[in-house]
Amino acid sequence: MTDKVLILLSCGTDNPNRATRALFLGMAAHKAGKQVTVFLLDEGVYLARDGIIENVRAATGDSADDSLTYLQAHAVPVLVCTPCAKARKIEEKDLIDGARMAMASEMITLACESAVISL
- Give me the pLDDT at residue 101, please: 98
55: left (phi over 0), alpha (psi -120 to 50) or beta: alpha
pLDDT, position 47: 96
Alpha helix stretches (DSSP H) within 1-119 = 16-31, 64-73, 82-87, 104-113
Look up the CATH number of domain 4-118.
Answer: 3.40.1260.10
Report the pLDDT value the prediction gives residue 2, as an integer from 0 to 100: 82
Global pTM reads 0.95
Does residue 8 carry a pLDDT above 80? Answer: yes
* Tens-place pLDDT, residues 35-55: 999 999 999 999 999 999 998
Distance CA 99, CA 50 (A): 10
pLDDT tens column, 51-102? 999 989 999 999 999 999 999 999 999 999 999 999 999 999 999 999 999 9
Cα-based distances in Å from 16 to 33, 62, 107: 26, 10, 23
Measured CA to CA, the distance from residue 90 to residue 101 in angstroms comes to: 10
Q: Could you state, in order of their start, the residue ranges of all structural domains in the chain?
A: 4-118
